[in-house]
């Protein structure tokens, strides 16, 4: 587990240098908790997890995604915060990794004319799937197959194709991620 996080941290630090540092951004997950209905029961979830799941449940249709990539950037930030909060429950500190990922999301917003949006998004999604795998290893149930599906969805983003033309793939990544986060948070809380 620690080797996985160390390797992920090195890869993320390399990406931070490429995308730029966003150290002036709010870079920690909210560790508060909220009561959220997850079906038959009410579950206390870290606020960041609840925010990501509510955002995901809004089911923005791919056609509603816009050139400023705010939907994608918000999803990346929310998912990073949710994974950071879940990791904190296991005693694993992924603050540095989550900060770098949020910086990648900020890069999407910072320059709407950039031709690197798909590349930045793909790297952020791959980092998020790696972070998700590290958290999943520490929490029951075993969700290796589901995390592998998230990683495949991240890999489906093509760096050489406009991000807006990959709306369905972006949405698939977030839907698969939400399913894993929901299972991890319900199991951990339940």
Q: Looking at the predicted structure, is the pLDDT value of residue 33 above 70? A: no
Which backbone phi and psi does 37 adopt, to 5 degrees?
-80, 130
Q: Looking at the predicted structure, is the pLDDT value of residue 62 above 80? A: no
**Separation between Cα atoms, residue 144 and residue 150, nearest integer Å:** 10
Q: What are 112-144's pLDDT values in tens digits?
A: 888 899 999 999 999 999 999 999 998 877 899
**Separation between Cα atoms, residue 45 and residue 185, nearest integer Å:** 7
| Other Cβ atoms closer than 10 A to 65 | 19
pTM of the full predicted structure? 0.77
> Which letter does DSSP use for residue 68 in this model?
T
What is the structure's pLDDT at 187? 66
Q: Per-domain residue ranges for the chain?
A: 2-19+28-189
**Separation between Cα atoms, residue 58 and residue 27, nearest integer Å:** 24
Mean pLDDT of the region 145-153: 97
* Contact between 109 and 68 (Cβ < 8 Å): yes
Mean pLDDT of the region 21-29: 44
What is the structure's pLDDT at 102? 95
Mean pLDDT is highest, among 16-30, 50-64, 65-79, 164-178, for: 164-178
Q: Looking at the predicted structure, is the pLDDT value of residue 14 above 60? A: no
What is the structure's pLDDT at 114? 85
Work out the burial of residue 138: count CB atoms within 10 Å of its CB; fewer than 13 is exposed, 13-18 middle, 19 or more buried. middle
Measuring CA to CA, which residue among 91, 122, 105 is closest to residue 26?
A: 105
Q: Which residue has the higher pLDDT, 111 or 176?
A: 176
Q: What angle do CA 9, 25, 136 make, to 5 degrees?
A: 40
Weakest mean pLDDT among 26-35, 102-111, 178-187? 26-35
By percentage, how much of the chain surpasses pLDDT 70? 72
Measuring CA to CA, which residue among 34, 35, 84 is closest to residue 184?
A: 84
Which backbone phi and psi does 5 adopt, to 5 degrees?
-65, -40
């Amino acid at each position: 587990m620690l080797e996985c996080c160390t390797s992920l941290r090195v890869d993320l630090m390399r990406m931070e240098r490429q995308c730029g540092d966003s150290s002036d951004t709010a870079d920690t997950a909210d560790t508060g908790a909220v009561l959220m209905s997850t079906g038959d029961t009410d579950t206390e979830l870290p606020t960041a997890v609840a925010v990501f799941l509510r955002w995901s449940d809004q089911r923005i249709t791919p056609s509603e995604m816009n050139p400023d990539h705010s939907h994608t950037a918000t999803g990346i930030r929310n998912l990073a915060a949710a994974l950071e909060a879940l990791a904190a429950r296991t005693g694993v500190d992924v603050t540095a990794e989550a900060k770098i990922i949020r910086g990648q999301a900020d890069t999407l917003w910072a320059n709407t004319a950039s031709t690197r949006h798909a590349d930045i998004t793909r790297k952020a999604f791959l980092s998020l799937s790696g972070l998700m795998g590290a958290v999943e290893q520490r929490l029951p149930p075993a969700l290796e197959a589901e995390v592998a599906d998230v990683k495949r969805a991240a890999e489906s983003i093509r760096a050489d194709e406009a991000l807006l033309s990959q709306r369905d793939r972006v949405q698939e990544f977030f839907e698969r991620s939400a399913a894993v986060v929901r299972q991890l948070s319900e199991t951990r809380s339940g």
